[in-house]
Chains A and B, each alone.
Chain A
Amino acid sequence: MATLFFLFHLSNFQKMKISQYLLALLCPIILLSSCNKSDDDVATDTKSSFTLEFEHQVNGSPLALNTTTYKNAKGEDFKINVFKYYVSNIKLSKADGTTYLLPESYFLIDESKPASKLITVNDVPTGDYTKIEYTIGVDYARNFAGAQTGALDPINGMFWTWNSGYIFVKLEGTSPQSTAANNLLTFHIGGVVDPNNTIRTYSTEINAANPLRIRMDSKPDMHFMVNAASLFTGTTDVSFATLNFTMGGANSVIVANNYAKGLFRLDHIHN
């Protein structure tokens, strides 16, 4: 009782320290008890966590909202005011082909909310994973599944009210070349119905020499570089003079085909 009372009066930082200390105390006990089981049991039973970190860039420069001027592949200047996107249905694969789909994995990453750029995923079976894939956006079913919460809450400004479905990737900004009022750039990419389906999947193999090594005592960090300028190049170089506004439809498909190639790059893994 006294210990509990003591814990309540500690800062989070102090609590972390203590829980690490407790963990250190407990670890030998866990290790000892695992001796009784076969190794296979341990591998399938234990769960741990890992993090995904998304570092936003524009062609190699750090993304800074509202202030910095960047150039698209056509050499046109632009600034970014809003940059947010969904990552969902994260699937991990092992070298033997077995896969683990993270249940209910819907994440909204928003440049204006730094905390959103670091995702912690819990309850993942321990093991060595050599591939990761995820949806850029939201799967077909969830676009029409009714009132959602969390990342999919319409309050997040990523749900079209007049034409059901989520905005998968939202980039807003300005460019002197934009012919829209106030030189605005409005790229709201979404839509799940052919011929304008914009659901795209990102997948990458992980170097087998340094796989995503999830252990009870190892919570690795995957570090992704995210290039906002990839919306405007890759398959079709976009000129803001001719394409500066899209909310679904054929032009959104052009942009989705671009970012499918270059939005994400796995930079490194800290195991």
Chain B
Amino acid sequence: MYACSKNEDEIMPEEKAITFSVPSNFPAPVYNFEQNKLSNAGFALGKKLFYGARLSADKSVSCGSCHQQFAAFANLDHKVSHGVNNCQGKRNAPPLFNLVWQKAFFWDGGVKNIETSPLNAITDACEMGTNIETIITTLKNTTPYPEMFKKAYGSTEINSQFILKSITQFLGVLVSGNSKYDKVMRKEGGISFTSDELAGYTLFKQKCTSCHAEPFFTDFSYRNNGLDLVTIDEGRSHITGVQTDFGKFRVPSLRNIEYTSPYMHDGRFYSLDEVLEHYNSGVKAAENLDAELKSGIQLNSLEKSQIKAFLKTLTDNEFIKNTLYSES
């Protein structure tokens, strides 16, 4: 008996169960998995769908095309999303992590539930350019999908709810909470900030946290940060229809900012230096400019380098390199 079970272990090592856990320095999430029980099969299916280029109109674009793990699931070097038929989208692909703490999605907050967020990219003519009906037909006729759906949901039926819920299992588990900053906050393993990082953190708390609030480094609000006198992208007002929201965009998280270049909703800045210089000297008196930015944020070069040093402590290499999230 003993030998038998040992042998089985060697052939099929017990799969590690997919779990979701809240870092101790994070609050309770907005989305819990109560209506979408996490399972290894559900997660595996969601991951497979996330990386499946076959789903797009010309079979060239997957979710993972514009959300690359090495860029914290943002799109390295792309100002805006590059969709099917070489179409250039309107906005910069946001990174994907800590999504279950988010109440609204996309730069304009148009989507209110993580489960329905993939539909936007699936149907956008400039992203995946398809629809859920076509995807269902494709999946029904493509191995190993029917088998994977059966494993995850006990039936070979493939419907939009199973597709969206399984993708959500993958997206929801993308938690980034193991940066140096997190470890310092949690007082783990005697890790501490360098003097530059600490000075940067102090400056950050004075000058940046009114929008980039800890621990997510965003307060999830919509603001106009004065990029243009008159913006060509209406932003939040496209969703709300309210003129005072014109030109406002969701405050992005700064976690993993080292890897999520280019920056801003239209990806106009390639470096953190450009971003900091914008706040120092480039803020335009736009209609609806955020009150916090009326006089910009004055930063000398030492302060800039200290803030940059701090921002790099928000990089979570364990997240970026976690093979659980990689295309396999």
Residues of A participating in the B interface, judged by any CB pair closer than 8 Å:
143-149, 153-155, 159, 161-165, 193, 195-196, 248-250
Task: Decide: A153 and B159 in contact? CB cutoff 8 A.
Answer: yes
Interface membership of B86, Cβ < 8 A: no
| Residues of chain A contacted by B111 (CB below 8 angstroms) | 161-164
Closest residue on chain A to residue B113 by CB atoms: A146
* Selected A-B contacts with CB under 8 Å, 10 pairs: A146-B114, A147-B116, A147-B164, A148-B161, A153-B161, A161-B120, A162-B106, A162-B124, A164-B110, A195-B241
Task: Decide: A144 and B112 in contact? CB cutoff 8 A.
Answer: yes
Interface membership of B197, Cβ < 8 A: no
Task: Decide: B132 and A164 in contact? CB cutoff 8 A.
Answer: no
Question: In whole angstroms, how far apart are the Cα atoms of A150 and B160 in the complex?
Answer: 10
Task: Decide: B239 and A163 in contact? CB cutoff 8 A.
Answer: yes
Task: Decide: A144 and B113 in contact? CB cutoff 8 A.
Answer: yes
Task: Decide: A161 and B122 in contact? CB cutoff 8 A.
Answer: yes
Interface flags for B96-135 (1: CB within 8 Å of A; 0: not) read: 0000000000100011111110011011100000001100
Task: Decide: A155 and B240 in contact? CB cutoff 8 A.
Answer: no
Interface membership of B284, Cβ < 8 A: no
| Residues of chain A contacted by B159 (CB below 8 angstroms) | 149, 153, 155
| Residues of chain A contacted by B132 (CB below 8 angstroms) | 154-155
Question: In whole angstroms, how far apart are the Cα atoms of A193 and B116 in the complex?
Answer: 18
Task: Decide: B113 and A159 in contact? CB cutoff 8 A.
Answer: no
Give min CB distance, B161 to chain A, whole Å: 4
Closest residue on chain A to residue B105 by CB atoms: A164
Contact pick for A161, options B116, B161, B238, CB 8 Å: B116
Question: In whole angstroms, how far apart are the Cα atoms of A148 and B113 in the complex?
Answer: 11
Question: In whole angstroms, how far apart are the Cα atoms of A250 and B242 in the complex?
Answer: 10
Task: Decide: B160 and A193 in contact? CB cutoff 8 A.
Answer: no
Question: In whole angstroms, how far apart are the Cα atoms of A153 and B164 in the complex?
Answer: 11
Question: In whole angstroms, how far apart are the Cα atoms of A193 and B123 in the complex?
Answer: 23
| Residues of chain B contacted by A193 (CB below 8 angstroms) | 240
Task: Decide: A248 and B123 in contact? CB cutoff 8 A.
Answer: no
Contact pick for B115, options A147, A153, A161, CB 8 Å: A147
Task: Decide: A147 and B161 in contact? CB cutoff 8 A.
Answer: yes
Interface membership of B206, Cβ < 8 A: no
Question: In whole angstroms, how far apart are the Cα atoms of A145 and B132 in the complex?
Answer: 18
Give min CB distance, A189 to chain B, whole Å: 14
Q: Which 8 A-B pairs have the closest CB atoms?
A: A146-B115, A147-B164, A161-B119, A144-B112, A164-B112, A163-B110, A147-B115, A147-B161
Closest residue on chain A to residue B132 by CB atoms: A155
Task: Decide: B165 and A147 in contact? CB cutoff 8 A.
Answer: yes
| Residues of chain A contacted by B113 (CB below 8 angstroms) | 144-146, 164
Task: Decide: B161 and A159 in contact? CB cutoff 8 A.
Answer: no
Task: Decide: B241 and A153 in contact? CB cutoff 8 A.
Answer: no
| Residues of chain B contacted by A154 (CB below 8 angstroms) | 116, 119, 132, 160
| Residues of chain A contacted by B240 (CB below 8 angstroms) | 193
Task: Decide: B136 and A162 in contact? CB cutoff 8 A.
Answer: no
Question: Number of B residues contacting the other chain (C-beta, 8 Å)?
Answer: 29
Closest residue on chain B to residue A145 by CB atoms: B113
Interface flags for B157-168 (1: CB within 8 Å of A; 0: not) read: 001110111001
Most buried by A among B115, B163, B165: B115
Task: Decide: B241 and A250 in contact? CB cutoff 8 A.
Answer: yes
Question: In whole angstroms, how far apart are the Cα atoms of A164 and B108 in the complex?
Answer: 11
Question: B151-183: which residues lie under 8 A (CB-CB) from chain A?
Answer: 159-161, 163-165, 168
Question: B168-209: which residues lie under 8 A (CB-CB) from chain A?
Answer: 168
Task: Decide: B241 and A196 in contact? CB cutoff 8 A.
Answer: yes
| Residues of chain A contacted by B165 (CB below 8 angstroms) | 146-147
Interface membership of B35, Cβ < 8 A: yes
Give min CB distance, B198 to chain A, whole Å: 41
Most buried by B among A145, A154, A159: A154
Closest residue on chain A to residue B123 by CB atoms: A161
Question: B228-256: which residues lie under 8 A (CB-CB) from chain A?
Answer: 238-241
| Residues of chain B contacted by A196 (CB below 8 angstroms) | 241
Closest residue on chain B to residue A161 by CB atoms: B119
| Residues of chain A contacted by B106 (CB below 8 angstroms) | 162
Question: In whole angstroms, how far apart are the Cα atoms of A148 and B132 in the complex?
Answer: 13
Contact pick for B241, options A145, A147, A249, CB 8 Å: A249
Question: In whole angstroms, how far apart are the Cα atoms of A161 and B122 in the complex?
Answer: 9
Give min CB distance, B31 to chain A, whole Å: 8
Contact pick for B116, options A149, A155, A159, CB 8 Å: A159
Give min CB distance, B256 to chain A, whole Å: 26
Contact pick for B160, options A155, A162, A195, A249, CB 8 Å: A155
Task: Decide: B112 and A248 in contact? CB cutoff 8 A.
Answer: no
Give min CB distance, B219 to chain A, whole Å: 20
Give min CB distance, B164 to chain A, whole Å: 4
Task: Decide: B239 and A159 in contact? CB cutoff 8 A.
Answer: no
| Residues of chain A contacted by B110 (CB below 8 angstroms) | 162-164
Give min CB distance, A159 to chain B, whole Å: 7
Question: In whole angstroms, how far apart are the Cα atoms of A195 and B244 in the complex?
Answer: 13
| Residues of chain A contacted by B112 (CB below 8 angstroms) | 143-144, 164-165
Task: Decide: B120 and A248 in contact? CB cutoff 8 A.
Answer: no
Q: A162-B110, A164-B113, A196-B241 are in contact. Are A146 and B160 (CB under 8 A)?
A: no
Task: Decide: B160 and A164 in contact? CB cutoff 8 A.
Answer: no
Closest residue on chain B to residue A153 by CB atoms: B160
Closest residue on chain B to residue A163 by CB atoms: B110
Question: In whole angstroms, how far apart are the Cα atoms of A206 and B116 in the complex?
Answer: 39
| Residues of chain A contacted by B163 (CB below 8 angstroms) | 147
| Residues of chain B contacted by A144 (CB below 8 angstroms) | 112-113
Give min CB distance, B314 to chain A, whole Å: 29
Task: Decide: A248 and B161 in contact? CB cutoff 8 A.
Answer: no
